[in-house]
């Protein structure tokens, strides 16, 4: 179930990226830094924390703030990214 949700998320993030224009390395780096920073700051305020792993980093690197927001909403709803 969680794998299907993650695949859907990746597809949605890719579709959002396609509408923004070409993907550059500097843009990906900035998105990754902002996304992981937002994940870290979010984990300071919510319990249980969102796990920071390869999947969440990839979603944040590709989607930036939008990816972080999708992860946060799914975590709050209890659909995915439930901390162990």
Residue 50 lies in a domain: yes
Our count of domains for the chain comes to 1
CB 61 within 8 A of CB 32: yes
Q: What is the reported pTM?
A: 0.67
Tell me what pLDDT residue 22 has.
67
At residue 15, does pLDDT exceed 80?
A: no
Residue 9 lies in a domain: no
List, for residues 3-14, the tens digit of each pLDDT value: 676 677 677 767
Residue 57 lies in a domain: yes
Tell me what pLDDT residue 59 has.
82
At residue 23, does pLDDT exceed 80?
A: no
Residue with tokens 């070409």: 22
Residue 43 lies in a domain: yes
Q: Cβ–Cβ contacts within 10 Å for residue 5, how many?
A: 13
Residue 68 lies in a domain: yes
Residue 17 lies in a domain: no
Q: Which domain holds residue 73?
A: 28-84
């Amino acid at each position: 179930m969680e794998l299907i949700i993650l695949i859907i998320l990746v597809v949605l993030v890719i579709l959002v990226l396609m509408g923004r224009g070409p993907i550059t390395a500097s843009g990906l780096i900035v998105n990754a830094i902002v996304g992981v920073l937002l994940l870290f700051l979010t984990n300071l305020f919510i319990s249980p924390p969102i796990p920071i792993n390869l999947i969440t980093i990839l979603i944040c690197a590709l989607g930036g703030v939008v990816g972080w927001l999708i992860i946060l909403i799914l975590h709050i709803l209890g659909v995915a990214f439930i901390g162990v």
